[in-house]
Structure 1
Amino acid sequence: MTKKMIDLSVPMDNRLKEPFPPKIKYDSHANGAKQAAGLLGLKASDFPNNEAWATETVTLTTHTGTHIDAPWHYASTAAGKPARTIDQLPIEWFYGDGVLFDFSDKHPGYEIQTQDLTDQLEEMNYELKPLDIVLIRTDTDQYIYTDEYLASQPGMSADATRWLIEQGIKVMGIDGWGWDIPLALQAENYKQNPREGVLWAAHFVGKEAEYCQIEKLANLDQLPTQHGFKVAAFPIKITGASAGWVRPVAIIE
């Protein structure tokens, strides 16, 4: 049986328009020859064409590029217990049946509600089960190299996030910069009427129960179906970290 794989990540690229873009310094093969010569007591000319290894030096945060947020990112505790970091989570969470919800028709700032999810589940004749991996399509990934990236997405509400956790979902992801609606819209709403449940509301559901979110997914428009595929999204193991970089892949039989 043949398998088709779809890359669901954005590239790590100096051109990314986000608050914490990577800084990638590219070292040439010629510099590699100089480095190797210095380490080994040789001359750069001892290597063919004065060239050896190419290397890159990358400076970034654990939330740069496509990554998975651990419970520790949301708060110091989850459900009254110390929140776990990315290296402490069960690896079984990160491989499972994928379920795609399509909100690419919603306007920037639209807050996705539980009813939106249940309506689509009814349309696709599917019932969520524990450890399904939920993907939220907004098509915001098309803006990753533009200034519109941070403000162009619908986002998840706290209630919808809570409902997904109640269905046994541990890993959920979105192809926007963040899981909630854009931060600027949250701040504007709060300034007009300061109250709880506005700032980072969906993230803060992680205080109540453990869950992980994948942010900055891509290519969800390439999935040919809303379920019936697998998702592999294993995060890099970084000791004590609030997130880990990931290259999620959809696997279609």
Structure 2
Amino acid sequence: MEILDLSAPLDTDKAWAPWWARTRVKRQGHRFGALAVFLLTGLTPRFLRHRLGWANETLSLSSHGTTHLDAPWHYAPDSGGKRALTIDEVPLSWCFSPGVCIDMSHKKDGEAINEADITAWEKTEGHSITAGTIVLIRTGMDQWIGDPAYFTTGPWVTRGATRALLKRGVKITGIDAWGWDGPLSHMAQRARQGDGTFWESHYEGADTPYCHLERLAGLDQLPTTGFTVCCFPLKVKGGSAGPSRVVALLGPPGERDRHGY
């Protein structure tokens, strides 16, 4: 079995992320660790291997500030006529399922990914999306991670396409871009020039409970089918999302990977 990492790095992004979406990783080295040991225990560096203590990091980020899984609570307080699930309430069975990867990297900035695109992919691949499948949309936008354009550029998935997937019993979708509905500026422009609807595909989750993965990376590694997605989120109490280490498992379950594990 081979394990493919589909997660973006978690690191300080002040140099390229807008102020409202920044993550900070503050690193405390081994020398600082020696000071921490002294302050906590009174032990001097002579008690420590190489006179060094532990390394540590402190993180400052929103639950949406890196690769993450959105909960229905993110979209609205109610979903499907009931109180929406928070991320700690999302069934873990949703988060470990067969996946498909739909290549939409030909879509241009601001272009829609609609239901017809999904249907055409199924016809071309000879594969029908069934209940429980985790559907990943590849746009290629992960190439812009580290550039301000990551937050302002990219295609988007329509409410119709989202609804069509949910009607088939899909519980989790995902995209390798900043957001499922596209950049904020694009959403605002569509709302002003169209029917006044903002954040339309997220709001579909207020009618039918579902989760989606955002800020994925490396979907170009994946085949179209024949893999399992594992996307367990951090158990944030009452959270609207949870940062996740998302991976794809290739090969029959139980098969050793190329490293022998």
- Please tell me the TM-score bracket, short chain as reference: over 0.9
Task: Letter of the 1:246 partner, please give it.
Answer: S
Gaps (5+ residues) in structure 1? none
**CA distance in structure 2 between the partners assigned to 1:141 and 1:54 by the alignment:** 30
Query: Would you say the 8 A contact 2:190–2:196 is kept in 1?
Result: no
1:221 corresponds to: 220
2:97 counterpart SS class: strand
**CA distance in structure 2 between the partners assigned to 1:119 and 1:97 by the alignment:** 20
Query: Would you say the 8 A contact 1:67–1:214 is kept in 2?
Result: yes
Matched, 1:237 2:235: yes
Shift of 1:115: 0.5
2:235 counterpart SS class: coil
Describe how 1:167-206 pairs up with structure 2 within 5 A.
167-192=168-193, 195-197=195-197, 199-206=198-205
Task: Letter of the 2:178 partner, please give it.
Answer: W
- Describe the superposition over 1:195-225 as per-residue Cα deviations: whole angstroms up to 9, x where unpaired: 432x1011000110100000000000111x2
Query: Would you say the 8 A contact 1:110–1:181 is kept in 2?
Result: no
- Describe the superposition over 1:5-61 as per-residue Cα deviations: whole angstroms up to 9, x where unpaired: 110000001136354221111111011011111211222343233211010011111
Matched, 1:208 2:207: yes
Shift of 1:152: 2.2
Task: Letter of the 1:78 partner, please give it.
Answer: S
TM-score, length of structure 1 as denominator length? 0.94
Aligned structure 1 segments of 4 or more residues deviating by more than 4 angstroms = none
**CA distance in structure 1 between the partners assigned to 2:39 and 2:168 by the alignment:** 58
Task: Letter of the 2:211 partner, please give it.
Answer: C
TM-score, length of structure 2 as denominator length? 0.92
**CA distance in structure 2 between the partners assigned to 1:189 and 1:171 by the alignment:** 25
Query: Would you say the 8 A contact 1:108–1:151 is kept in 2?
Result: no
Query: Would you say the 8 A contact 2:73–2:85 is kept in 1?
Result: yes
Q: Which deviates the most, 167-176 or 37-46?
A: 37-46
**CA distance in structure 2 between the partners assigned to 1:105 and 1:117 by the alignment:** 14
Which of 3, 6, 25 in structure 1 is aligned with 2:4?
A: 6
2:122 counterpart SS class: helix
2:40 corresponds to: 39
Gaps (5+ residues) in structure 2? 252-261
2:165 corresponds to: 164
**CA distance in structure 1 between the partners assigned to 2:192 and 2:209 by the alignment:** 29
2:85 corresponds to: 84
1:202 counterpart SS class: helix
Describe how 1:142-153 pairs up with structure 2 within 5 A.
142-153=143-154
Describe how 1:13-28 pairs up with structure 2 within 5 A.
13-15=11-13, 17=17, 19-28=20-29
- Describe the superposition over 1:178-201 as per-residue Cα deviations: whole angstroms up to 9, x where unpaired: 0002210121233345x432x101
Report percent identity of matched pairs. Answer: 39
Task: Letter of the 2:206 partner, please give it.
Answer: K
2:136 corresponds to: 135
Task: Letter of the 2:108 partner, please give it.
Answer: H
Task: Letter of the 2:45 partner, please give it.
Answer: A
Aligned residues: 248
**CA distance in structure 2 between the partners assigned to 1:190 and 1:88 by the alignment:** 32
**CA distance in structure 1 between the partners assigned to 2:189 and 2:145 by the alignment:** 23
Task: Letter of the 1:124 partner, please give it.
Answer: E
Task: Letter of the 1:104 partner, please give it.
Answer: S
**CA distance in structure 2 between the partners assigned to 1:128 and 1:192 by the alignment:** 33
What is the RMSD computed on CA atoms of the aligned residues? 1.3
